[in-house]
Structure 1
Amino acid sequence: MEHARHRVFVDSGPLVALADRGDPGHQVARAFFGRRGTRLVTHVGVLAEVVTFIRYRFGHGPARRIGEHVRGGRSIALLPIELTDDVEGWRWFVRYRDRRFSLVDCWSFALMTRLAIREVATFDHDFAVAGFTPLLPTT
């Protein structure tokens, strides 16, 4: 298990907004990622969402750049989805069938719970519904 100073989980929305100047959340994402002193973490499922979205919307080059930025690990620690996260994430997904939680979000909830991360950089209100604290305006 990774231990570090105060950690914040990063969802896909702020990463997409950072890469897309036309995104309504672009300035908020830029301001958030410009801060220092917080250990940012995400997982490979989130990176897959981001790279795929950017690839289809803007092409291979921008997708490769955001992927290399995150995979480089200088500003965001890229964590694997462990088997326990997969199993627990699937439990979230099955248990909350009345919610529109994506499987990737459920993996995020499981990983955040395992690592005792309460705060999340997201525009997605589902994280608040799941009991986490969004640090960005949500919809």
Structure 2
Amino acid sequence: MIDKSDDYHEAATKIYANLERRSAWLITSDYVIDETVTWLRYKVGHNAAVEFWNRLHNSKITEIIRVDAEIVTGAWKTFLKYSDRFLKRLQACSLSKMGEGSCDNRGIKVK
């Protein structure tokens, strides 16, 4: 939604607007935000990274999970549990947090 030259910009903008209309609940972590801001900074530019940060922090439908030591420990346990599947560390953090019962993990699939 930030990079107007992206092939999927228009589709992403429409999808996000639809999610806002439906008051969907989006969840992400500060780790994901950091990675995205860094990527935008180097691929699109500083202004795009700032715009992303501001949009996200002003969003009424996005919850930001702060990854702390407890989540990191849980993520490692989740990572070990799914040794037979491809699982990124960030996904393990998300799954670990969801396992606490603080968010709904319907639709989450581990490859």
1:84 to 70, 93, 111: 70
The equivalent residue for 1:48 is 34
- Distance verdict in 2 for CA 1:128–1:67, change over 3 Å: same
Structure 2 portions without partners, runs of 5+? none
Q: Which has the higher contact order (CA 8 A, sep 6+)?
A: 1
Aligned in 2, Cα 1:112/1:26: closer, same or farther, shift over 3 Å? Answer: farther
Identity of aligned residues (%): 22
Runs of 4+ in 1 over 3 A off after TM superposition: 21-28, 97-100
* Structure 2 CA distance for aligned equivalents of residues 77 and 118 of structure 1: 14
Deviation at 1:98, TM superposition (A): 4.2
More strand by share: 1
Residue 129 of structure 1 is matched in structure 2 by: 110
Q: After TM superposition, list the pairs within 5 Å mapping 1:1-139 onto structure 2.
A: 18-35=1-18, 36=21, 37-114=23-100, 115-119=102-106, 127-129=108-110
The number of residues matched between the two structures is 107
The TM-score normalised by the length of structure 1 is 0.62
TM norm structure 2: 0.75
What is the CA distance between 1:28 and its match in structure 2? 3.9
TM-fit CA distance, 1:89: 0.8
